[in-house]
Amino acid sequence: MPSLMRRPRPDLRPLVRSLWVASTDGSHVAGTREHAIPTGEMHLVVRLVEAPVRIFAGRHDAVGRTFGHAVVAGPRDVFHVKDVCESTRAVGVQLHPAAAVALFGVPASHLARHHLALDDLWLTADVARLRQRLLESATPAAQLDLLETAIAARLTCVRPLHPAVALALQAARGTDAVAAIVAATGFSHRTVATEFRQAMGLSPKRFLRVRRLRRLLPRIGSAPWDELALAAGFSDQAHLVREFTAITGVTPTAYLRARPEAAHHVRILQDGR
């Protein structure tokens, strides 16, 4: 759980969702991992401990891949697995996918379902300087101010969303039906699909799947599964179970049993459940 989280300054809010500082206790048991459930947005994380970020291709990947201490995670519609053996401290920012071009010079579609070392997108010297300054900052609040300033300096040439994307996002506030969303934009299905994927990193259908799951997570445990399914926009309980398991990598029952402190982070039990 973040030890400090806040909204960005007003001029950054269209593209920057939140900034946070977190300290987590590792299990100190080799092989302990966590399923990170997708939000549909991007994340930039700078670790302030010696251990680098390690991501696994899946539950059965025994080796994983390290990405250094500063990592960008693109928009996703399925979980990813990360190492949580060791305690860590980190500073991060959650970003609207449309920030990809201004911040990293590539559309969100190029980052989707991927993790990249920040050095692959920014100059290595700039990344090292930012991390060093974060390490030297006296307080978590000062770290957030520093990261916010660094983000703001790169968000000076923001391109507006293509009208097809802007209209689709507006229409999606009232429906989960792709056909209805496309019709509301006045553009062809092909144009909406292409521009939406470029800007958001996901197709409209996959974007809506993730959003439906995000509606569900805060409600889990508050009502029977069939009621939760209908309230969150699933057709029935079976639909909820299929989608939930595919996106999170755990069943709804296993998620409820784990009772994660943070809704999008589920520690994997050693027996694989």
Output the six-digit token pair for 79: 């979980």
Superfamily of domain 2-154: Jelly Rolls (2.60.120.10)
Residue for token pair 């966590």: 34
- For the chain, the domains span 2-154, 163-267
What does the pLDDT average to over 229-254? 95
Quick one: CA dihedral 194, 195, 197, 203, positive or negative? Answer: negative
Q: What CA–CA distance (Å, rounded) separates 64 from 54?
A: 6
Q: How sure is the predictor about 2, in pLDDT bands with cuts at 50, 70 and 90? A: low
pTM of the predicted structure, to 2 decimals:
0.89
Question: Rounded mean pLDDT of the chain?
Answer: 92
Closest CA to 220 of 174, 252, 251: 252
Tokens 């539950």 sit on residue: 59
pLDDT tens digits for range 51-64: 899 999 877 788 88
Residue 90 has pLDDT above 90, yes or no: yes
Beta strand ranges found along the chain (DSSP E): 2-6, 16-24, 33-36, 42-47, 54-56, 65-66, 70-73, 80-83, 88-95, 115-117, 265-267
The fold adopted by the segment(s) 163-267 is Arc Repressor Mutant, subunit A (1.10.10)
**Helices (H), ranges, 155-203:** 163-171, 178-185, 189-200
User: What is the reported pLDDT for 273?
Assistant: 44
